[in-house]
């Protein structure tokens, strides 16, 4: 079920999707992708106005778990790429399920779960898969206080 994630992956200089880190994933993080919505859809004006006012539109709330995991994935990937050069991500320790992990290990665990969520292997009817992915929230809450550089 789990992916083995490499913290230092090669990202192309030009992204196919406009989201370079998403190019690593098996499936697009946004199943409701705006490119699937017709340009003449009457809701386009509403969404444009929402983006003007809020910086995002309500389409991102259609599948909020996917939107959050996509947001977190991109930011964690960049955090690792940038912060790893400034701070020691193998310094802070956290206890989870009676074991100790370093910050980079927790990040790796989160990224593994997000990559699994966006893979063809993920089954949203499987209690085991759902529980594995739900750990993203626990792990993120655990490591969040140390996420600066």
**∠ Cα 89 74 38 (to 5°):** 175
As a whole number, mean pLDDT of residues 127-146 equals 97
As a whole number, mean pLDDT of residues 43-51 equals 91
Residues 32, 20: Cα–Cα separation, whole Å: 19
- The reported pLDDT for the residue numbered 13 is 62
- pLDDT per residue as tens digits for the range 97-117: 999 999 999 999 999 999 999
Written as six digits, the tokens of 63 are 């599948």
> What is the DSSP code (8-state) at residue 29?
S
The larger pLDDT score, comparing residue 10 to residue 25, is at 25
- The reported pLDDT for the residue numbered 9 is 52
Mean pLDDT of the chain: 86
- The reported pLDDT for the residue numbered 35 is 58
* Residue 25 near residue 118, CB atoms below 8 Å: yes
- Whether residue 42 is predicted with pLDDT greater than 50 in this model: the reply is yes
Specify the length of the chain in residues: 149
Burial class of residue 73 (count of CB atoms within 10 Å of its CB; 0-12, 13-18, 19+): buried
CA dihedral 57, 110, 81, 25 (to 10 degrees): -70
């Amino acid at each position: 079920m789990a992916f083995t994630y490499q913290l230092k992956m090669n990202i192309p200089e030009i992204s196919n999707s406009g989201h370079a880190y998403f190019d690593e994933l098996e499936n697009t993080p946004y199943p409701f992708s705006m490119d699937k919505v017709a340009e003449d859809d009457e809701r386009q004006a509403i969404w444009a106005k929402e983006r003007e006012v809020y910086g995002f539109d309500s389409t991102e709330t259609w599948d909020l778990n996917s939107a959050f995991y996509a947001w977190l994935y991109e930011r964690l990937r960049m955090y690792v790429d940038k912060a790893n050069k400034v701070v020691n991500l193998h310094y802070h320790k956290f206890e989870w399920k009676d074991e100790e992990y370093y910050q980079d290990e927790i990040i790796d665990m989160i990224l593994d779960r997000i990559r699994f969520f966006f893979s063809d292997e993920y089954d949203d009817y499987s209690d085991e898969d759902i529980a594995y992915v739900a750990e993203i929230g626990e792990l993120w809450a655990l490591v969040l206080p140390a996420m600066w550089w």
